[in-house]
Amino acid sequence: MHERGMLIVLSGPSGVGKGTVRQAMLQDDFRDFQYSVSMTTRKPRPGEKDGIDYYFRTKEQFEQEIADGQMLEYAKYVDNYYGTPLKYVNQTLDAGRDVLLEIEVKGAMQVRAKCPDGVFIFLTPPDLVALKHRLVGRGTDDIATINKRIQQAAQEIKMMENYDYAVVNDEVPLAVKRIERIIESEHLRVPRVIDKYRNMVN
């Protein structure tokens, strides 16, 4: 019988580069990740595709998923819902594949309560000035929204204590390597492998 996959949760402030780091991880040959596409009610940004970057849904559709108990986690962030469909995550873990979630901080805390054996990684900016430059450079938000995101980021960074690891995203390739080392180590932790060896000696 194969081992159940490991749930890896990557989150951090808006603009820290979660999506860029996630894409770099999935392009690396380090491990066979399955990225769990999140669902959101925000409008697609240029180049984003439904079912690849996000499942784009209306507010009414998203709230029906919540009512049906079909969300592993969800949060409302800057007037939009974000969340993770439950069924797909469980099926993938049961098949023995690692699942990578890229989600907001509030959603990660819901997952932590339901999946305490997950690996929770907080991606941080070098500092808030660098974060603001990234948000401005992205060119997708007006200055009022950017300032709102910076204030939110300061609050989210205080929640880092609820995570297992903190990784600075100063350069994407370095951040990816740090995360890969964490995952490699987590797969070797005794609580994750002990049952296999108990079966072996019995």
What are the pLDDT digits (tens) for 113-147? Answer: 888 889 999 999 888 888 888 888 887 788 888 88
- Alpha helices (H) along 139-187: 143-157, 172-186
Domains of the chain: 7-36+97-201 (3.40.50.300)
11 labeled binding residue: no
For the chain, give the percent of residues with pLDDT over 70.
98
What is the sign of the dihedral through the CA atoms of 46, 15, 139 and 22?
negative
* pTM for the whole structure: 0.80
pLDDT digits (tens, 9 = 90+) for 150-197: 888 888 888 899 999 999 999 999 999 999 999 999 999 998 888 889
12 is in an annotated binding site: yes
What is the per-residue pLDDT for 32?
A: 74
Q: Which residues on neighbouring strands pair with residue 71, listed in sequence order?
A: 85
When pLDDT is averaged across residues 16-22 and rounded to a whole number, the result is 89
Average pLDDT of every residue of the chain: 89
Return the amino acid letter for 35.
Y
Q: For residue 10, which phi and psi values (nearest 5 degrees)?
A: -115, 120
15 is in an annotated binding site: yes
Q: What is the pLDDT of residue 8?
A: 96
- Residue 50 pLDDT class (50, 70, 90 cuts): very high
What pLDDT is recorded for position 2? 67
Output the CA–CA distances (angstroms, integers) from residue 31 to 27, 42, 45, 98, 194, in the order listed.
10, 31, 29, 8, 21
Burial of 58 (0-12, 13-18, 19+ CB in 10 A): exposed
Q: Is 16 annotated as a binding residue?
A: yes
Q: How confident is the model at residue 99, as a pLDDT?
A: 94
Q: 51 labelled as ligand-binding? A: no
> Cα separation of 61 and 80, whole Å?
13
Question: Please, what's the b/e burial string for 11-42 (b: 16 or more CB within 10 A of its CB; e: otherwise)?
Answer: bbbbbbbbeebbbbbeeeeebebbbbbbbbbe
